Structure 1
Amino acid sequence: MLRIELTAAAGGQPGHGELTVHGWPGGTDGLELSVLRNQDSLYLEAGGGWDSLPVWHAIDGLERRGELLVGSVGPWLVDPLVRDPKMVYRLQLRDAGQSDGGVLRIVGNILSSPAVGHPQPLNEPPRHAPEPVAVPPEPEPEPEPPAVEPPPVETPRPDRPLVAERDEEFHAAPAPKPRKPVRWLPLALGLVLLLGIGLGAYWYFVLRPQTQTPVAAAPAPTPAPAPAAATTGGENPCGEAALEGAGDDLAFIQACLRSNPATAQVLEVIDAAKQSKRCGVVQRLYAHKAQAGDAAIAFAYAREYDPQTFKAGGCVQSADAETAAYWYEIALANDPANADAKKRLEALKP
């Protein structure tokens, strides 16, 4: 059984990492790699998708460093593996003469290649100069009108009455500018209308009932019995009743995990899901709770794959010693006193 680890690239470039393989006895020529996703038993395709049939990828660049195989891998492998941190992957290596595999460990925080477009930190300068902002040209100053000399003052003559001069001055004067319409008038009308509506409502709902003849109150009808809770599981969103009534596995799993169920409760609903062949619920609840640090759930999940305790006809298609060892290690990491997990782990390791 191989020990395989994926760590971030030395330069920290998103979408790139370093693959380390412990225990490969063969060489580095003609190596091929397959990736199995344990939760749904699908294999990684060349385009980053997942298929039910095994797909082998030629992998170059792995070099021997003592007992290790070490090499850089790019987005074709890193992006699908870090897309869902709750998934568990099993990698298989082969060449012309032999084949071996093991469960992948993703160590540290590895970013996918889409993270290249993340915003820059505030303490770093911008990577390109900002685009210039077009400044509208300043308007050219208008030419000042030519100075107009005042007309000479004429001395009124006896044959030209003063009233005629004033009449000419009146017609020569510019017309006054029209006044702007008053803008507060619509607001005042609206306030008056609202006040009228408020007074009418006050009379209708407060004063009017007092003027009517009181009538005897009719006896309150007996409330009909509330219908039974449907498909929600009542007060227990992580019980068997909620599982039976839930049409969507993902919605049920989310509601179950939000209720923070106890370990025994999770194991009960997993057993119910196995009986109803809802394997998606079984695999996701097992993996999520085990990865979250529940040692009992991890131990139970390991026994599903352990060749000694494997039961055919369930949601796990076949026994897998490597996968069982992986979950036994997680159980021991959270509960070092689990002697059964330690014993089975030692028996499964070569």
Structure 2
Amino acid sequence: MPIRVDLLALEPNVPGRACLTVKKWQGAEEQLEFSIQRNQDSFYLQEGQVWSNNPFWFQVSRFDVAASGEALEAQVGPEVVDPLLEGGASSQFRIELREQGPGQSDVGVVRPGVGLLPSTAGGETRSTYGAAQLTAPSAPEPEIPELPELVLPEIEAPVEPEPITPEPVYTPPPAPVKKSNKGLIGLLIVVLLLIAAAVVFWLMKRAPEPAAPAVAATAPASADACTLESMNSLPELTFVQTCIKAAPDSAKLLEIINEAKAGKHCGIAQRLYANRAQAGDALIANAYAHEYDPKYLKASDCFPAADNATAAYWYETILTQDPNNAEAKQRFEELQK
């Protein structure tokens, strides 16, 4: 019976690293090795993240038993994770696990799981297959413009009156001096008011536009995330990420996938299928299995030929969520023969 192999993200997720999980293995847990072969050209993954027509064996000194007791686990690094993620959504990978030297050997299909990140992702926390939301960076503090230097007009000091010869009766200072002081104070007030008005006008002119238009501009993006127009205009990876974030229901997602197939956007169809099927959507997983099942296959540009191992993989995925699914159980058993 073929083994079931999954390449799953670690907890917490680490770019370029993953957990290789093997189920239904009947051999030993120590001194094992595996090879990975891709379907496009039947080349084998080599050391150094290159592909060649000669098998290469990655050696694992020991697999650990999973907490459930039903699988074996071993961590793998960028030498395995990066080439599988770079292979594209249409790529299929065959894995053979064997004991070093003569002994047990078995084969299966392996695919990158939900949330896996390449080693080049750095600090990213979200990938093609969906993940935690980035914390939006805090808005920069507004720049306070440097105000022009305030230069007041030079004011001549009042001329001291010449001393007055005392008279028998004291006479107060002449009234014209007081009128001159009031006029000077009024002039200062007018100058200050004009400068203040100029500063306020300048600040209002430099103030940023209200944020509301930006929100309105981005709002349609989520509503149009999964349309045919977006599919034709956006890069494949960007479209898949935004469409997954919009979270259409299963029926709507099948319509989008059919549009992608009709438009020969095969990578988009494959990625949408795989993401939702691995997340536990039985309807999508069943439709994906039918794309490879010889009983249901309708050959197309995106799915030209049957693949029993891949169909069995997705039927088994359904059974892990719903063990009583009669159709998935029947087709899985028949494809194993």
TM-score, normalised with respect to structure 1: 0.50
| Per-residue deviation, 1:41 | 9.1
Match of 2:107 in 1: 101
Task: Supply the distance in 2 between the matched residues of 1:257 and 1:277 (Cα, whole angstroms).
Answer: 19
Gaps of 5+ in 1: 118-184, 202-231
CA contact (8 A) 1:233 1:240 kept: no
Match of 1:279 in 2: 266
| Per-residue deviation, 1:312 | 2.8
Pairing partner for 1:304 from 266, 270, 291: 291
Task: Supply the distance in 1 between the matched residues of 2:151 and 2:268 (Cα, whole angstroms).
Answer: 64
Task: Supply the distance in 2 between the matched residues of 1:234 and 1:71 (Cα, whole angstroms).
Answer: 38
| Per-residue deviation, 1:100 | 4.9
Gaps of 5+ in 2: 65-69, 124-147, 153-190, 203-219
| Per-residue deviation, 1:6 | 6.5
CA contact (8 A) 1:62 1:70 kept: no
Q: Aligned residues: percent identity?
A: 35
Task: Supply the distance in 1 between the matched residues of 2:20 and 2:246 (Cα, whole angstroms).
Answer: 38
Match of 2:228 in 1: 240
CA contact (8 A) 2:84 2:111 kept: no
Task: Supply the distance in 1 between the matched residues of 2:113 and 2:200 (Cα, whole angstroms).
Answer: 72
| Per-residue deviation, 1:287 | 0.8
Aligned residues: 242
Root-mean-square deviation over aligned CA pairs: 5.4
Pairing partner for 2:315 from 328, 331, 336: 328
Aligned residue for 1:57, secondary structure, equals coil
Aligned residue for 1:318, secondary structure, equals coil
Aligned residue for 2:109, secondary structure, equals strand
- Cα deviations by residue, 1:236-261 (Å, 9 ceiling, x for unpaired): 43233443x42422232223222221
Match of 2:35 in 1: 33
- Cα deviations by residue, 1:261-287 (Å, 9 ceiling, x for unpaired): 121111112112112211011111101
Match of 2:56 in 1: 57
- Amino acid in the other structure paired with 1:238: C
1:250 aligns with 2:237: yes
Structure number with larger C-alpha Rg: 1
Task: Supply the distance in 2 between the matched residues of 1:108 and 1:277 (Cα, whole angstroms).
Answer: 24
Write the mapping of 1:136-155 to structure 2, written as runs, cut at 5 A. Answer: none
Aligned residue for 1:312, secondary structure, equals coil
Aligned residue for 2:94, secondary structure, equals strand
CA contact (8 A) 2:48 2:79 kept: no
Aligned residue for 2:299, secondary structure, equals coil
Task: Supply the distance in 2 between the matched residues of 1:277 and 1:330 (Cα, whole angstroms).
Answer: 26
Change (3 A) 1:17 1:64: closer
Task: Supply the distance in 2 between the matched residues of 1:199 and 1:107 (Cα, whole angstroms).
Answer: 58
- Cα deviations by residue, 1:109-131 (Å, 9 ceiling, x for unpaired): 9999899x9xxxxxxxxxxxxxx
TM-score, normalised with respect to structure 2: 0.51
- Cα deviations by residue, 1:289-318 (Å, 9 ceiling, x for unpaired): 112221100110011111222233331343
- Amino acid in the other structure paired with 1:91: I
Task: Supply the distance in 1 between the matched residues of 2:19 and 2:322 (Cα, whole angstroms).
Answer: 31
1:294 aligns with 2:281: yes
Aligned residue for 1:102, secondary structure, equals strand
- Amino acid in the other structure paired with 2:281: D
CA contact (8 A) 2:49 2:83 kept: no
Match of 1:90 in 2: 94
Match of 1:80 in 2: 82
- Amino acid in the other structure paired with 2:198: I
CA contact (8 A) 2:95 2:110 kept: yes
1:269 aligns with 2:268: no
| Per-residue deviation, 1:78 | 4.8
Task: Supply the distance in 2 between the matched residues of 1:256 and 1:314 (Cα, whole angstroms).
Answer: 22
| Per-residue deviation, 1:344 | 0.8
- Amino acid in the other structure paired with 1:346: E
Change (3 A) 1:107 1:261: closer
CA contact (8 A) 1:303 1:309 kept: yes
Task: Supply the distance in 2 between the matched residues of 1:71 and 1:198 (Cα, whole angstroms).
Answer: 68
- Amino acid in the other structure paired with 2:247: N
- Amino acid in the other structure paired with 1:267: L
| Per-residue deviation, 1:74 | 5.4
Change (3 A) 1:75 1:235: closer
Task: Supply the distance in 1 between the matched residues of 2:35 and 2:56 (Cα, whole angstroms).
Answer: 5
CA contact (8 A) 1:82 1:110 kept: no
| Per-residue deviation, 1:195 | 1.6
- Cα deviations by residue, 1:83-126 (Å, 9 ceiling, x for unpaired): 69x977531358999985202388999999899x9xxxxxxxxx
Change (3 A) 1:258 1:331: same
- Amino acid in the other structure paired with 1:326: Y
- Amino acid in the other structure paired with 2:278: Q
Match of 2:3 in 1: 2
Pairing partner for 2:247 from 218, 242, 260: 260
